[in-house]
A = this chain, B = another copy of it.
């Protein structure tokens, strides 16, 4: 499901009403961004699996190592140390289950 996680029930962790309102607003934006991230990741996964199939269907390899390395490096440049881990998840999703 695509509903935001419990937007009205999670405590904000502050008793200050002004901060509370501001935090609720920030959270709404984070929820929107999470939806955006999830949609893009799912679309990326579909396409990446299609690439693997197209490549194997034409007698090629399922993975192209240089391309994966370039993506990992790009994510490191953009996000720092967490970047390669995020890239690795995207690459694993794109491979899908074997068998």
Residues on A lying within 8 angstroms of B by beta carbon are 1-2, 4-6, 9-16, 18-19, 22-23, 26-27, 29-30, 33-34, 36-38, 40-44, 47-48, 50-51, 54-55, 57-64, 66-67, 70-71, 73-75, 77-79, 82, 85-86, 89-90, 92-93
Q: How many copies does the complex hold?
A: 2
Q: 13 A-B pairs, CB-CB below 8 angstroms?
A: A6-B66, A6-B70, A9-B66, A10-B70, A13-B60, A13-B62, A16-B58, A19-B58, A23-B54, A27-B51, A42-B79, A85-B89, A86-B86
Contacts of A67 in B (CB 8 A): 5-6, 10-11, 27
| Docked pose: A43 CA to B78 CA in angstroms | 12
